[in-house]
Structure 1
Amino acid sequence: MSVVPQEHQNTAVLVLEDGRVCTGTTYGARGTALGEAVFCTGMTGYQETLTDPSYHGQIVVQTAPQIGNTGWNGEDDESSGIQVAGYAVRDPSATPSNWRSTGSLEQALVRQGVVGIAGIDTRALVRHLRERGAMRAGVFSGDALAGTDELTQRVRASPRMAGADLYGAVTTREPYVVPAVGQRRFRVAALDVGIKFNTPRMMAERGIETHVLPADCPVEAIEELRPDGVFLANGPGDPATADKPVALTEQVLERGLPLFGICFGNQILARALGRGTYKMRYGHRGINIPVIEHATGRVAITSQNHGFAVLGEAGEEFDTPFGRARITHTCPNDGCVEGLALTSGRAFSVQYHPEAAAGPHDAATLFDRFAELMGQTR
């Protein structure tokens, strides 16, 4: 094991696969973090970002310069723990200040073994990623420090995000139930390919009992529940690898069950309907991204986290084995597909996060739409 000189005890470096190096200070655990470098533009919600399973396998760069002001608490996690591979910030708060805080952000990173870096020019780094695209990266500190050439080779030897099969790493191992608040109106089977805690909460508030199922569950497990509807969750990785969830979705569509998907679930439904997907240059990750609903012209400001998207054009209609479908939503910034649906109304999905933790609540009514669909079908 190499011995780190005293003057480098607090040094950390972030190395991109194209050879760019950012030198800063350690933040969180010391060691090695390898993953895809991406940036999140959210000014708030760093705890929800860090615990979002959709960020599994990624090194998140925060564009907001000051991070950690409100500390860490025991209520805002969106999963069982921090999901990011690594973390990069500019100016971490030394002392958190919030009545809900139970500790600092850095303490949470150390406790959960997440390697981070602070004190770098995140604005310059984000501009580089916008120009060159999201790419493989590594954060190194402590005994993991070495020469630039060696660290760059470690990064280039790490897996790419394109072709990455990650949803199995974040799915639940055993089914569990989130009960409805008050009287139960509907029962939903939710396929967990990376579900966030706030999604079942949002459904519970609408009288929906949610049965969260592992990603590899057979259709018989859904049929046994006799659900009123099926939900496809968000999640990480390349949707081109999600053959089992896609096959399960096709079986659900064959049975005519009402279906609602978000984020990774949007891509799974798209594949089940015969559409392809592609890797975006640097993706959508933030809480202020506009989306147009083409049927109404309504624009919603949404929370998003995705680096892959569905092939299609605004308003496009196409045939599927389950009936006619159309592209229902797009992003005005880049034309990215943000939603699709069967024209029968029996299945629909969006690329963004209506549970919006953290983020705007413009799209929360999609859960009401799902409830209405289940009521009409029943």
Structure 2
Amino acid sequence: MTNAAIPLSVLDLAPVTHGSDAATAVNHSIALARHAESLGYKRFWLAEHHFVAVASSSTTTLIALVAAATRRIRVGSAAVQIGLHTPSSVVEAFGTIDAVYPGRLDLGLGRSAQRRADFVASPPASPPAAVTRANAADQVVDGLLIPAPFPVESLYGSPRLAASFDATLFDGAQPPDFADAVDDVLSLLAGTFSARDVVLRAVPGAGADVQVWLFGSSKGQSAQVAGARGLPFVANYHVSPATVVEAVEAYRAAFVPSTTLAEPYVVVSADVVVAPDDATARHRASSTYGHWVHSIRSGAGAVEYPDPATTAPLTDEQLAVVGDRVRTQFVGAPDTVVDGLSTLARVTGADELVVTSVTHDFDHRLESHELLAREWGLR
């Protein structure tokens, strides 16, 4: 299979860069979507994050704006944190957008909010020591780096995460089981939903031409539910590179054919920075990506994306926390990055790849996607 036979899509976080603001980030996302469409990328997905320097917090609103500014590219969520929204509100929102831009929406669902109790109720941990111990066991699988897993439990007890969850949920609200929430979304879209033995029809929403996706970082519930429901699955190499292979294997093992899919369909994510040559790409990624990831993993929340011209290198202690993410970022000239992505696709058996490319300079982000599209062989 040639590279061009594997579609490429774009994942955007609408990052606010140092010295800029949220309004600029929103407009940059819309401009990037137009650019991606012109280059032949298949989808443009937006991530949901709250109370950090990321401007895609109101994901469905931004999806509507992107759909309005483009013509053909599929637009969607990567992913709606279903524990922070009722299934009916999600389906009604996507149904409303689909009414104007039919057949172009991907409704990606994630379960991170369902883990609220883990993050809020546990005592604080010590990330650097835990990660330093874990980093001793990196593996290479058929040319693909599979680093030791980042101990997510090191984020448990983070005051900022606890405050963020409290601010996005009503007092006393308990997120539903993820599988139940997914089933509600599917039945609302199908027009078969009922509550208290009363049939309720989402208007708009019922009958909308919206494709449902599940996102996961491990072999746990997301992969299992995606397989059992016969839905397409997105494995997050860019978030949890250590567990991408087991996530894909768990999804395929659990897969049951459905009216949506006759066989498994896997998308794998990757973080890339592409420039005309390796040295330029390394400078644009350099320590800025590591500092940005460190701000997330330290529990402080994603900061404004740093400027490589003014950012000091990572300390050894900081690198211990983010080493797995830094080492699995695909950085370099077009052929360098394409070689890496081809390995990722081969090892995971991906049917499609979705790339995110974050740099301080927006023009460099545009160039990164353009160089990759040309080298990959998109139209």
TM-score above 0.5, yes or no: no
TM-score, L = length of structure 2 = 0.27
TM-score, L = length of structure 1 = 0.28
More strand by share: 1
Return the index of the structure with the highest Cα Rg: 1
